[in-house]
Amino acid sequence: MAAVDRFYLLYQEISRSCSFYIEALAIVGAWYTARKCISLAIDTYGMLRLYVIPKLSGEIDLVRRYGKWAVVTGSTDGIGKAYAEELAKRGVNIILISRNKEKLEAVSRIISETYQVETDFIVADFSKGREPYPAIKEALKDRDIGILVNNVGVFYPYPDYFTNLSEDLLWDIINVNIASANMMMHIVLPGMVKRRKGAIVNISSASICRPTPMMTAYGASKTYLDYFSRALHHEYASKGIFVQSLTPFFIATKMVACSSILSKRSFFFPSAEEYASHAISTLGLSTRTSGYWKHAIKFTLCEHVPEWIWARCGIYLLRILRKEALTCK
């Protein structure tokens, strides 16, 4: 009986000691839950603010806010063409820049006739290093450019190992994906600063959220563009300039024609037109966004995936895409 009494007393003592720790853990748990709930509420509001409220409240007057002319590079196909059309829908005059004169003439005419805006175009090959910029600067010197969309870009023919890439492709990635955005901003930004209003949209990529093997040089070029955009916004926001980094996942365009899956429109792979109609609604609201609510969900999830898991899954899937592309050659 004495042993039982001693055990009972020991149990009471342990219970009293544990109650303090249980209460402490309960406080920590409540704090953690409250923090997560607040974070979820903020993220939900952010999603609604970016992707739902603008659609319900109507289109903003881009001409009044930024200016009457927009320049769009890489604008004869894909996101560039679709974004130019969305700007034209809102009454913005368009200057298209690309390397194919015939396509530029056709797209320029279609936009002008369809949306009743002024259009112009400049033939330029951004892969030629410093060569095209004097002519672009001369052509734009008398235009009040309110919006610049740096869309032109070079992607791999298909995912591949770095050492398999040609020197020409590597130089094109540097000249087209990186140098073009720098030089175009250097040309139009002084005018925006003088008028104290303007917007710059740089088309980056969701590959920035984690290092992606077999897209190494391309992903690095888009990471540069994302960093540059965010830093430049802080540098010029006080002067009335809004700089946005768009970070889309794959979109069903000619750029991903190497894959029969990615090149077809589906729930997570929108058409360029569908993507642009959502992305343009975020202009002026977010300096860094996927531009499309479905892509935003994917981006948030990917940011929380450990890097080693992302890399292993990425290299597995991109090897499949590489094999598919090589089989179709």
172, 219, 150, 253: CA torsion to nearest 10:
90
Residue 43, pLDDT > 80, answer no
Find the mean pLDDT for residues 193-207.
Answer: 95
- Segment holding 97, helix H or strand E: strand 93-98
Residue 123, pLDDT > 60, answer yes
Find the mean pLDDT for residues 37-60.
Answer: 71
| Alpha-carbon span 193 to 211, nearest angstrom | 35
Give domain limits for the chain. 49-328
Lowest mean pLDDT among 63-77, 209-223, 242-256, 259-273: 259-273
Phi-psi region of 214 (alpha: psi -120 to 50; beta: other; left: phi over 0): left
Find the mean pLDDT for residues 218-241.
Answer: 96
Domain 49-328: CATH superfamily is NAD(P)-binding Rossmann-like Domain (3.40.50.720)
Half-sphere exposure (Cβ direction) of 272: Cα atoms closer than 13 Å: 19
| Residue position matching structure tokens 């830093």 | 231
Sign of the CA dihedral with 59 first, then 40, 227, and 291 last: negative
Catalytic residue among 51, 83, 158, 218: 218
DSSP collapsed to 3 states, 167-216: HHHHHHHHHHHHHHHHHHHHHHHHHHHHHCCEEEEEECCHHHHCCCCCCH
Q: Tell me, what's the pLDDT at 249? A: 87
- Segment holding 307, helix H or strand E: helix 307-328
| Alpha-carbon span 122 to 184, nearest angstrom | 13
Q: Whole-model pTM?
A: 0.83
| Alpha-carbon span 149 to 280, nearest angstrom | 11
Q: Tell me, what's the pLDDT at 268? A: 65
Q: What is the CA radius of gyration of the chain?
A: 25
Rounded to 5°, angle at Cα 81 from 80 and 84: 85
Q: Are 100 and 77 in contact, with CB atoms under 8 Å apart?
A: no
Q: Tell me, what's the pLDDT at 1? A: 45
Please say if 32 is a catalytic residue: no
